[in-house]
Amino acid sequence: MDELDWIRVIDHSQYLCRSWQKLYFPARVCRYIRIVGTHNTVNKIFHIVAFECMFTNKTFTLEKGLIVPTENVATISDCASVIEGVSRSRNALLNGDTKNYDWDSGYTCHQLGSGAIMVQLAQPYMIGSIRLLLWDCDDRSYSYYVEVSTNQQQWTMVADRTKVSCKSWQSVTFERQPATFIRIVGTHNTANEVFHCVHFECPEQQSGQKEENGEDPGTGDTSLAGPRSPMADKVGRQQS
């Protein structure tokens, strides 16, 4: 209120953040708002393009100062981004399309034994679940593991399915923890040497789709199915 006594309402100094930040804290009366940058991965300057402040009646939950989201925050509109992985379309993994994919497009992939598929959220969230759609236009199965991080340096494994044959929709739940980066690493594919993922969401959204571990067929467009492998098998090898 007086530029002398300051109350810290947000502390993201230990997290890597990008683009739009949606920040919530308990309502309080204020006149001045001070934003202090503490790190930039490129240079020594902190940049802000736009700033808004408001009061909201929207219900939100905070845990350790971070939002516990109920809606999918791994979306293009929420400024999430795929920062590792091969795809014909940069953010095909996050565009929400779980119907229009085939042998040549609509998925993101990486070569087994090299690289990963990595998603960066715009800001840290308290996350306890994710959901994946593995490419399922034929009868192949995959194995994989999932890790989360807030800084790309220290990683915590939240799912280990390296010894499980997995197909189609995958539901992953784990102890809620801060996360900005989610890394999906494929370890096996019964058809070839590439791991393919069609859709990613975080946290998991309620859906009629159930997890598949070698049971029922998925939802892919099988009209183009044939004896060859997906185009990204070739792309993945070139990228690796």
Name all domains of the chain by residue range, CATH numbers in brackets: 76-201 (2.60.120.260)
pLDDT score of 124 more than 60: yes
Tally of CB atoms within 10 A around 196: 30
pLDDT at 215: 39
Q: For the CA atoms of 205, 206, 209, 214, what is the dihedral angle to 10 degrees? A: 70
Residues contacting 149, CB < 8 A, separation 6+: 155, 156, 179, 180, 181, 183
Residues contacting 238, CB < 8 A, separation 6+: none
pLDDT score of 222 more than 70: no
pLDDT at 234: 42
Q: Per residue in 100-120, pLDDT tens?
A: 999 999 999 999 999 999 999
pLDDT score of 38 more than 50: yes
Question: Mean pLDDT across the stretch 38-52?
Answer: 96
Tally of CB atoms within 10 A around 236: 23
Threshold 0.85, pTM exceeds: no
Containing 70, the helix (H) or strand (E) segment is: none
The residue type found at 201 is E
pLDDT score of 207 more than 80: no
